[in-house]
Amino acid sequence: MNQKVVVITGGSAGIGASLGEEVGRRGGQVVLAARRERELEAARARAGAQAVAVVADVTRREDSQKILDAALARFGRVDVWVNNAGRGISRPVSQLTDEDLDDMMLVNVKSALYGIQAVLPHFVERKSGHIINVSSMLGRVPFAPIRSAYSAAKHALNSLTANLRMELRAEFPGIHVSCVLPGVVATDFGKNALHGGPDSRTLPQAQPVEEVAAVIADLIETPRADVYTRPDARRIVAAYYAAEDLGELESRPPFAAPPRP
């Protein structure tokens, strides 16, 4: 990690807190940002003696600047910015309200845009840096209709990520832009979804959060464009988009539950 300064939003729990621990363990300098002060301080303590906590709400543009200012004041630079803050929803398309969709776009897309636009001038000035957007497999393949607006928001985040990468490639090849695509992760994500939902930690085959954190830490050490946290995920995505009839494919598991015996 070579003392890289890594900013992680959504750092008080789940993937963000675990990533802070992993980066600190590998020798990075960690800046964690989140709204919940008590939980954030606990995560900061686990991320190493030099870690910094910034109480901030990344759905407010000015708070992303606040996070950057705190990181620069403590370390003098930022090397990596991880847009990890996000929230799910438990509501199908037919029941979505304006407020539901606005919330999903604000928390999952605009918060990342605010972080990108806050740190990018710093990276451009240095001609180096790494922006990592934590998306979801649901941003590639819409497995769960109940997560409809979350899936749509993550599709949008994926597109912004790719377009930013292409925008910067020619003039700023030293600035990396990456997208991370986990599946179900054993965190309280589902429990905290808008309108409630099952605790992700109780779902079958939920990936340990430490595994996801390790994948992102590896990405920091060796930048790539897209990274899936499960080895079979790329094959699943390729098969979905290669299907001649998506409707027929979506009528079968894992999209539809198998018939009862």
Kindly report the average pLDDT of the chain as a whole number: 95
Q: pTM for the complete prediction? A: 0.96
Active site residues: 150
259 within a domain of the structure (yes/no): no
58 within a domain of the structure (yes/no): yes
39 within a domain of the structure (yes/no): yes
Identify the band that residue 261 occupies on the pLDDT scale cut at 50, 70 and 90.
Answer: very low
pLDDT at 257: 61
pLDDT at 114: 98
Give the CATH number of the domain where residue 147 resides: 3.40.50.720
What is the C-alpha radius of gyration for the chain, rounded to an integer number of angstroms?
18
227 within a domain of the structure (yes/no): yes
pLDDT at 258 over 70: no
246 within a domain of the structure (yes/no): no
Segments forming the whole domain that contains residue 188: 5-235
10 within a domain of the structure (yes/no): yes
102 within a domain of the structure (yes/no): yes
Output the six-digit token pair for 223.
């930048």
β-sheet bridge partners, residue 129: 175
195 within a domain of the structure (yes/no): yes
Q: Could you tell me the sign of the dihedral formed by the alpha carbons of 179, 134, 248, 95, in that order?
A: negative
Region 34-47: mean pLDDT is 97
Structural domain count, the chain: 1
